[in-house]
Structure formats: structure tokens, C-alpha cells
Amino acid sequence: MTPLVSPALPAALDEAAHRCLVAGFAGTTTVPDDLKALIERGLGGVILFTRNIRDADQVRELTGTLRGLRPDLLIGIDNEGGGIGHLVTAGAPEVPGNFALGVVDDPALTAACADALAAHLASLGISASYAPVADLQHRGENPIVRTRAFGSDPEVVARHLRAWISATEARGVASCAKHFPGHGGTVTDSHYELAVDPRAAGELDLAPFRAAIEAGVPMLMSAHVVFPALDAELPATLSPYVIGELLRGELGFDGVLVSDALEMKAIADRYGEAAGARLALGAGADQVIVAVPELETTLACRDAVLGALREGSLSEGRVWEAAGRVRRLAERYAVPVVPGESGAGDVGLAAARRAVSKGELAAGVEGAYVVDLFPRPHPALNWGGESLVSAVREVDPSAAGVVVAGEPEDGEGLVDEVLKSAAGRPLVVATCDGELYPWQGWVREGLVAARPDAVVVATGLPGVGDEGAVLSYGRGRVNLRAAAEVVVGAQIDTAPRP
């Protein structure tokens, strides 16, 4: 018996379906054969990660090779600043995270930082930046937004979004405000499980997204978050109401709506990546991101979309509409434009210095022993080993210290060892997001109880227990450097901030 063969879709529709995909891949110089085949059939975009980056010349060669396969291929990357980026080895400008910029509240400074990042992307041939974060940081328990947000005030966030988007646009790079309609009201990280925002519809954080749309942002990224006030069951990425009625209808957005990565457990564990791709496009998304380097996952998503088109569960009209938006985006941004060099210089460090607060620190210390406590780095961060210890030693080579990345097995032993090592020296104790990670609080308490003269630093989102601490409002390299200067006394004249 001859097996049944699914009929091929018309070539133009097949190409349109491929435009709705953004694929991650492995490698720094060679384009995998499966990726070449996807690009030749119309793949809409690729997303780069640290695994694809060696140095600037290599990235230019890679983006040139990719664009040589298809000139209208969008090449994107997460490039938020503040330690969330993948281009450190390619010479990326160091800028503080959004929260520090919101603390300074100088939109011109935010624009300068965004310009530096976008100019660098354009120089590498990267045409899309999955930034800025438009979420508001509401809850101390939120594990994922935090210092990635410009703040909790929608007006502050809106004006910094406008500055960021305009600066990026001027460089011919596509920006992407995320995560619609907001991830700041959750207490769950959607990388690990489905998140829920239980607030009423009138309490949701739409104002920053309205501002981004008014500023002409060409892309929005959806959140893998359920908003029961909008859709009782489906996360925003898969919700026809959230994308169709709210985003397209009420907010009037006609740019590209791209999903957050489908392999995040909020989608993958409940629906599977392939079903997630089909459902997201059916709900109104224009592109779906499959960020994992294993291309078989992307191919499975592609096959699910093509299969749904064949059987009629995904309408051709919906795919034509999505592909049309992606095509218009590519016509505008696929080849980035660099109108002259960025004049930013060390604007990122200048911004971090303006943000840092010295708290109750009256004078800097020399030859300190620094203990830097922080949670194990999130997979979304491109952590390069930077720490407050290394930052202080750059300013004061006589300093020493210990880095503790993640809860220690023997906390009491750590306290005893630090006290011994710090004997006869000033002691500096730094925590990061201690509200979320109580172990940091009791290690700090143990150290400060024995050494009430200790200088206390908070490198994450300030919270309970951080009163009077030196505040950096982030753990990007320039945030840590600015905090180190305050601790040592090189930048002690920095104005205190509320």
C-alpha cells in the first residue's frame, strides 16, 4: 500500500510560513545545512547568542554570510545592556541596565546609551534588537523583571522607552518593546513555569506599551503570562483576545508581534514548542522565536505550521497577514544603516556613576576585603565572571575578597572564613536581590553583627534590608565599577538618591 503523502503547499504560501519563524543555531562561522535550507525557503530571521559570538570581525563575517543567503533575512539579538547581552567579546559598549537609567531619569542619557548599543549592532550587521524592556517593576517577589525595567512609574518608563526607541530607529536598527502586556505583576519567571498576573484589567501595565507604539516601535514581544482578566486560560502569546482585540484593536499596533522563545517552560511544558508555534500564529503573532540551537526543534515548529495550513486549522489569510508584516519590517531594517560613528564614548560608565547612591557611606575604604553575594546567574544573562570583587580591585589593587554565586553549602563556615580573611581590613558585604534569596540576608547579618563597621552594598533591586546601603541598581560591569569607585572613595562625591 502506498503511504499517503501530504500535498505540497504553493511555493509562495510555503515561503510566507517560513517568514513567520526566527531560529537560533549553533556555530560562529559555518551556517548549518538545515539552517541554509530554512533560509532558502524564506526563513524570516535568526537570533544570535553568546554561542555565535567570538569577536567583531567574526560576527561581521557571519552576518554577511547569512545575508548572502537571503538579503532580507532579519538578524536579531537580545541587547538590553546592564549585563544582558551577548556581544562582550565583540566589543559591545558597556551600559547600565534600565533601572539605573530610570533612577537618573535623563532621557537624553538613555538615548545616548541606546545609540551606543544600536551603532555597535549596525556595525556588526545585526538588524534587530530585542529591547527595550517595557515592563513595570511592581513586586519585590518578581524574579525576572527587576532592574531590567526602567522603574515602576509608568510615566518614567514611557519617556525612557521613547528615548530608547527613537535612538535605535535613527541607527536603522529595529527595536522591540517587551513583554506585552507586561511581566512586572507576576511572581514567577516564565522561563521556568507559566506565570499569572491576577490583577484586574484596569490595573494592567498598558501605558508603557501605548507609549512605545506611539514612538513608532516596529516590534513588540509577547509575554508567556496568563492574565485572567483578559483570557482565563491562555497565556498572552497564545491568546487571540490579547493579541487581536487588545493589541491590534484597542492599541492599534500594526507592527510585528513576535513571541518570546517557545522553548521557555511556560509554553514548552504545557503545549510543546510545535503546538506553541501553531497556536501563537493562529492567535495573531507574526513571528515565533525558537532560540535553542538544535534545529530539529525549529523544524518541528515549522512542520506543525505547515501541517496546520494543509488541514485548515491555521488559515492562509492569517499567515499571509503575518508574513506581510514581517516583509515590511525586513524591507525597512534587514540591512542596518549607520549614520556616522557613535559619539557615546564612555557614556555607559557616566550613566552608572550618576545612578549609584552612596547611602550612609561617609568615606571610602582602602585595602578592603569584599564578599560579593549574588544568586546563580540566570540563563538569560551573559555572565562573564564580573563581580564587585574584581571591580574594587580594578580601582584599588590592594583589595581582596571572595565571590559567592549561589547559596553556599556551609553558610556559617563562609561567615567564619570571611571574618578571618577580613581581620585587620575594612569589610565590604554586597548582596543582590536579598528579598528573593534569604540566604544572602542571614550571611550579611552574620557578618555585620561581628563587624558593625562593614560597608554594605546592594547590587540588585533595592529592597527590605538595603536601607543605608551603597546602591548600584544593577550588576552590569559599569554598575559594579561605579559602586566600586564609591566604596573605595574615588567617586565619593556622587549625590545620594532616594
pLDDT by residue (tens digit) across 39-93?
Answer: 999 999 999 999 999 999 999 999 999 999 999 999 999 999 987 889 999 999 9
Residue 23's pLDDT is: 98
Check residues 142 and 256 and name the one with the higher pLDDT: 256
Residue 45's pLDDT is: 98
Q: Could you give the CA distance from residue 235 to residue 280 in angstroms, rounded to a whole number?
A: 10
Q: Which residues are 463's β-sheet partners?
A: none
CB–CB of 352/96 below 8 Å? yes
The distance of Cα 111 from the centroid of its chain, to the nearest Å, equals 17
Read off the DSSP letter of residue 191: T
Residue 234's contacts (CB-CB under 8 Å, 6 or more residues apart) are 226, 242, 283
Residue 86's contacts (CB-CB under 8 Å, 6 or more residues apart) are 48, 49, 50, 52, 53, 77, 78, 79, 382
From first CA to last CA, the distance across the chain in angstroms is: 77
DSSP helix/strand/coil, 44 = coil
Q: Could you give the CA distance from residue 360 to residue 296 in angstroms, rounded to a whole number?
A: 55
Confidence check: pLDDT of 341 > 50: yes
E strand or H helix at 257, and its extent?
strand 256-258
Residue 5's pLDDT is: 43
Confidence check: pLDDT of 244 > 70: yes
Q: Could you give the CA distance from residue 142 to residue 119 in angstroms, rounded to a whole number?
A: 32
Mean pLDDT of the chain: 93
**What predicted TM-score, i.e. pTM, was given to this entire model?**
0.94
Q: Could you give the CA distance from residue 70 to residue 42 in angstroms, rounded to a whole number?
A: 8
CA atoms within 13 A on the CB side of 242: 32
Per-residue pLDDT band for 491 (boundaries 50, 70, 90) equals: low
Per-residue pLDDT band for 325 (boundaries 50, 70, 90) equals: very high
Instruction: For 175-192, write each residue's pLDDT tens digit.
Output: 999 999 999 999 888 898
Task: State mean pLDDT over 345-351.
Answer: 90
CB–CB of 45/77 below 8 Å? no
What order of strands is seen across the sheet that includes strand 427-431?
Answer: 400-405, 369-374, 427-431, 455-458, 470-471
Q: Give the amino acid at 297.
A: T
Residue 380's pLDDT is: 61
Q: Could you give the CA distance from residue 466 to residue 1 in angstroms, rounded to a whole number?
A: 73
Per-residue pLDDT band for 496 (boundaries 50, 70, 90) equals: very low
Confidence check: pLDDT of 494 > 90: no
Task: State mean pLDDT over 199-203.
Answer: 95
From the list 367, 370, 452, 469, the residue with the least C-alpha distance to 418 is 370
Q: Provide the phi-psi class of 433: left if phi over 0, else alpha when psi is between -120 and 50, else beta.
A: left
E strand or H helix at 220, and its extent?
strand 219-222
Residue 139's pLDDT is: 87
Q: What is the DSSP string of 408-459?
A: -S-HHHHHHHHHHHTTTS-EEEEESSTTT-HHHHHHHHHHHHH-TT-EEEE-
At 493, list the grid cell. 562625591
Residue 189's pLDDT is: 87
Task: State mean pLDDT over 256-265.
Answer: 96
Residue entry with cell 485548515: 312
Residue 388's pLDDT is: 98
> In the chain, pLDDT over 70 holds for what percent of residues?
95
Instruction: For 463-487, write each residue's pLDDT tens digit.
Output: 988 999 999 999 999 999 999 999 9
Residue 498's pLDDT is: 39
Instruction: For 357-408, write each residue's pLDDT tens digit.
Output: 999 999 999 999 999 999 987 766 667 788 999 999 999 999 999 999 999 9
At 419, list the grid cell. 571574618
Residue 444's pLDDT is: 97
Q: Could you give the CA distance from residue 135 to residue 145 in angstroms, rounded to a whole number?
A: 7
For 22, 44, 294, 316, the CA distances from 307, given in Å and listed in that order, are 18, 19, 21, 12
Domains and CATH numbers, the chain: 11-333 (3.20.20.300), 356-488 (3.40.50.1700)
CB–CB of 391/480 below 8 Å? yes
Instruction: For 101-160, write each residue's pLDDT tens digit.
Output: 999 999 999 999 999 999 999 999 999 999 999 999 988 898 899 999 999 999 999 999
Q: Could you give the CA distance from residue 393 to residue 227 in angstroms, rounded to a whole number?
A: 46
CA atoms within 13 A on the CB side of 135: 27
Active-site residues, by number, are 191, 260
Per-residue pLDDT band for 220 (boundaries 50, 70, 90) equals: very high
Q: Provide the phi-psi class of 298: left if phi over 0, else alpha when psi is between -120 and 50, else beta.
A: alpha
DSSP helix/strand/coil, 144 = coil
Q: Could you give the CA distance from residue 130 to residue 260 in angstroms, rounded to a whole number?
A: 10
Instruction: For 268-318, write each residue's pLDDT tens digit.
Output: 999 999 999 999 999 999 999 999 999 999 999 999 999 999 999 999 999
Helix spans in 334-403 (H): 347-355, 388-395
| Dihedral pair phi/psi, residue 25, rounded to 5° | -160, 170
Q: Could you give the CA distance from residue 355 to residue 474 in angstroms, rounded to a whole number?
A: 10
At 316, list the grid cell. 492562509
Residue 285's pLDDT is: 98
DSSP helix/strand/coil, 238 = helix
Task: State mean pLDDT over 205-226.
Answer: 98
